[in-house]
Structure 1
Amino acid sequence: MKRNLYIWAGILLLIGFAFWQTSNKEGGVSIQNVFQPDKPLPTETGAKAGLLAPPFELKGLENKEETYRVGGTREKALLLNFWASWCDPCKMEAASLNLLAKNYKDKLDVYGVNVTKYDTEKDAKQFVDTFKLQFPILTDEDGAVYDLYKGMAFPTNVLIDKNGVIQEIILGILTEEELEKKVEALVKK
């Protein structure tokens, strides 16, 4: 019963964002970065473009012994993708994320974060198998990281540069071309 309530709430949120997106020619809701590269790095952490990405550690879906860390400087830029297996837009985006992970593997890490609080591990594994995801899948079992990043919709993509600064938060999906343009700009920072 509670799960159904969350599913309906998520669907209503997505419908609301779809109506809001009609004025956005790119399709997804984008929270643009106001951070400028010639200025000093921010010192504040938060789920907002221009701030340092909130740090966290999560275990992998397939390998519970492996821990993935986010926060601080890194060798590559990072695309965090928050998703759930029942989310139709997440299914539509899966192939694009695989392609980005493959084409930008030397400059970009892609982490899929299954918000297991609103999903099941079994369904998440089936999703990974069905869409043959080729990047690390992390499990946010209690939804704490999704909450930390102020998640409101599935999918949510967070673009983080090598300095650990959030460059953009994208609610909903973009076309493959639009997402690739944003990733291309991200890896050049």
Structure 2
Amino acid sequence: MKRSIVLLVIVLVLAGAAVYQNKGKHDDALAASSDMLPKPGYTAPTLSLPDLKEEPVAIGGKKEQLTLVNFWASWCYPCEMEAPDLQALSKKYAGKLQILGINATSVDKERQAREFVDQQKLSFPILMDRDGDAQKLYKVNSFPISLLIDSNGIVRERVEGVITKAKWQGFIDKWLDAESGQKAGSST
């Protein structure tokens, strides 16, 4: 009987030590996952930011159409280079693609951002990330960074830096085709 009690105490001590030792590992795994980039195949983070008229606009989540989210700053020369292409894409894919420009207002000057929009004649929605919340959620630490998000809220492409308009058209056409194939398959 004494031997059984001693064995039971040893087992309980070892079990307690194992639980104590592994307690922090779950927290580390959660921290590691929050440090991951929103990348292709994963759900895009959701949040809402004000546009230039202070109206809230939702980012991420299910939408009616494909969405291109572009992070930029007025002082970023590559952002200036790609702005005309983004404007052209917004016109070409009107009704099929939503482009959301997110100004890194927390590291930019809002007045200069508004001037940039006017100079570039951007007609797609421009959102102001005044507190840097979107930059944190989307792990943006350089500009420009763009994400193509499907209508189910899944990131399909993440582009860091500038790419050609033709390359964007390839990505957009690929995912528009994929989405129209899904809709056609679900209606049969």
Q: Which category of TM-score, normalised to the shorter sequence, fits these structures?
A: 0.7 to 0.9
Q: Equivalent of 1:89, from 63, 73, 78? A: 78
The amino acid of 1:163's aligned partner reads N
Q: Tell me how far 1:153 sits from its aligned partner.
A: 1.5
Q: Where in structure 1 do 4 or more consecutive aligned residues deviate above 4 Å? A: none
Contact 2:148 2:157 in 1 (8 A): yes
Query: How far, CA to CA, are the matches of 2:118 and 2:82 in structure 1?
Result: 15
Higher helix share: 2
Q: Tell me how far 1:46 sits from its aligned partner.
A: 6.5
The amino acid of 2:44's aligned partner reads A
Which residue does 1:52 correspond to in 2?
43
Query: How far, CA to CA, are the matches of 1:186 and 1:113 in structure 2?
Result: 22
Any gaps of 5 or more consecutive residues in structure 1? 1-44
Which residue does 1:33 correspond to in 2?
none
Which residue does 2:16 correspond to in 1?
none
Query: How far, CA to CA, are the matches of 1:137 and 1:53 in structure 2?
Result: 18
Which residue does 1:121 correspond to in 2?
110
Contact 1:81 1:156 in 2 (8 A): yes
Which residue does 1:175 correspond to in 2?
164
Which residue does 1:72 correspond to in 2?
61
Query: How far, CA to CA, are the matches of 2:60 and 2:100 in structure 1?
Result: 13
Query: Identity of aligned pairs, percent?
Result: 42
Q: Tell me how far 1:70 sits from its aligned partner.
A: 1.7
Query: How far, CA to CA, are the matches of 2:171 and 2:86 in structure 1?
Result: 13
Any gaps of 5 or more consecutive residues in structure 2? 1-35, 179-188
Normalising by the residue count of structure 1, what TM-score does the alignment of the two structures yield? 0.73
Pair 1:104-2:93 in alignment: yes
Q: Tell me how far 1:135 sits from its aligned partner.
A: 0.2
Normalising by the residue count of structure 2, what TM-score does the alignment of the two structures yield? 0.73
The amino acid of 2:128's aligned partner reads T
Contact 1:46 1:52 in 2 (8 A): no
Contact 2:144 2:162 in 1 (8 A): yes
Q: Tell me how far 1:188 sits from its aligned partner.
A: 2.0
Deviations 1:94-122 (A, max 9, x none): 00000111111111000000010110110
Q: Tell me how far 1:47 sits from its aligned partner.
A: 1.2
Contact 1:46 1:53 in 2 (8 A): no
Count residues in correspondence: 143
Higher RCO (Cα < 8 Å, 6 or more apart): 1
Deviations 1:126-157 (A, max 9, x none): 00010000100000001111110011220000
Query: How far, CA to CA, are the matches of 2:137 and 2:61 in structure 1?
Result: 16
Contact 1:86 1:119 in 2 (8 A): yes
Query: How far, CA to CA, are the matches of 1:186 and 1:91 in structure 2?
Result: 26
Computed over aligned residues only, the root mean square deviation of the Cα atoms, in angstroms, reads 1.3
